[in-house]
Amino acid sequence: MTMPLNQTLLARASAKLGPQASMAIGLLVLAVLLAMPLLHLLPADNALHVSAYTLTLVGKILCYCIVALALDLAWGYAGLLSLGHGLFFALGGYAMGMYLMREAAGDGLPAFMSFLAWTELPWYWYGTDSFLWAMCLVVLAPGLLALVFGFFAFRSRIKGVYFSIMTQALTFAGMLLFFRNETGFGGNNGFTNFRTILGFDITAAHTRATLFFATVVLLVASLYLGWRLARSKFGRVLTALRDAENRLMFCGYDPRGYKLFIWVLSAVLCGLAGALYVPQVGIINPSEMSPTNSIEAAVWVALGGRGTLIGPLLGAGLVNGMKSWFTVAFPEYWLFALGFLFIVVTLFLPKGVIGLLRKKGEQ
């Protein structure tokens, strides 16, 4: 809960102080984030100790931030509003989960399989006891799905609303598929009860700290990647693509390749975020693929300001911070708050919080 508040304050201040100051504040936030896992390692009675609760909460929000960033690359820059990013997130999570289940099961089968009386691993589980292969799957599963779906969708020039609705149908189909016990991913119970990761106890403080640290690193890396892309000619082609696809084609660019590249990249980032999310929250189940989750991710981006990279991070932090707070303080009113937030943002903040801050900064 401290995180998002800090972020807003910082961002607001940064808008007032200009680019150098924002850089300084960004570094400060980064320093805080990097310090958190270290502080978690302090003994519990230390005043500076960061509790496991705070660490996992912030870690979870950071994973969402990566999703928001990935979605921003596709939506904010290339105009591809995906209502199915939850699917890629969950696929990455499931790939990681498969590894964790294998670790927990030792030489036997994962628990849910043994009570389905399966005696053999399904083919797609082979090799998942190897961390490296699991990491490959984290990238390959969402990446290949995005590649195939994107290839066909972009080939037939599905765009705008149609694209969004197709992605929604895709994630819905995925959810139904994973809900089935017979699919071999634990049905609606999904994967839980992880024990170790690379031999380290998953509940141990240093494991938590490392996972958190990895999340921060991934976030910073994706932010840097996004920033580099946005400033390259590639980024400008994407913007052009978003605004006037036909014109771009008549300039001799093939939009399919560009869309496919950013779409797959975005999916892979989501998958990586999912892979880091699962060991931190301790569960992955098909409800991560529910269309609602993906729509919510779009709101993070819209709230923060799309096409701004930093904005979506703010949006994800704000909404999730609010959610954590509201569901404790006023559980009945959380949906009202979220609903009004959607409306207010679309009506009054077309450029999101970042737009608002920038405007304030200019005044």
- Restricted to residues 88-127, the positions that interact with other proteins (CB under 8 A) are 104, 111-112, 114-117
Is residue 347 part of the contact set for other proteins (CB under 8 A)? yes
Helix (H, G, I), strand (E, B) or coil at 258: helix
For the segment 203-242, give every residue that binds other proteins (CB under 8 A). 203, 229, 232-234, 236-237, 239-240, 242
Site size for other proteins (CB under 8 A):
107
Length of the chain, in residues: 363
Q: Which residue number, 81 or 137, has a Cβ lying nearer to other proteins?
A: 81
Q: Which two tokens stand for residue 161?
A: 């609303």
Q: Which residue number, 30 or 166, has a Cβ lying nearer to other proteins?
A: 166
Alpha helices in 156-290 (DSSP H): 160-179, 205-231, 233-243, 245-250, 255-281
Is residue 189 part of the contact set for other proteins (CB under 8 A)? yes
Stretch that binds other proteins, among 126-134, 179-187, 210-218, 267-275 (CB under 8 A): 179-187
Q: Which residue number, 221 or 244, has a Cβ lying nearer to other proteins?
A: 244
Cα(100)–Cα(121) distance, integer angstroms: 15
Give the residue among 146, 98, 152, 125 at the shortest CA–CA distance from 279. 98
CB of 363 to other proteins, least distance (A): 12
CB of 190 to other proteins, least distance (A): 6
Task: Reduce the secondary structure of 226-239 to three states and give it as a string.
Answer: HHHHHHCHHHHHHH
Stretch that binds other proteins, among 29-37, 219-227, 267-275, 337-345 (CB under 8 A): 337-345
Q: Which two tokens stand for residue 175?
A: 């959810």
Cα(89)–Cα(76) distance, integer angstroms: 18
CB of 27 to other proteins, least distance (A): 27
Stretch that binds other proteins, among 27-35, 123-131, 136-144, 328-336 (CB under 8 A): 328-336
Cα(273)–Cα(92) distance, integer angstroms: 7
Tell which phi-psi region holds residue 45, choosing left (phi > 0), alpha (psi between -120 and 50) or beta: alpha
Q: Which two tokens stand for residue 118?
A: 């399966």
Q: Which of 29, 60, 133, 135 binds other proteins (CB under 8 A)?
A: 60
Q: Which of 50, 218, 302, 316 binds other proteins (CB under 8 A)?
A: 302
Q: Which two tokens stand for residue 22?
A: 């924002």
Q: Which of 47, 123, 132, 348 binds other proteins (CB under 8 A)?
A: 348
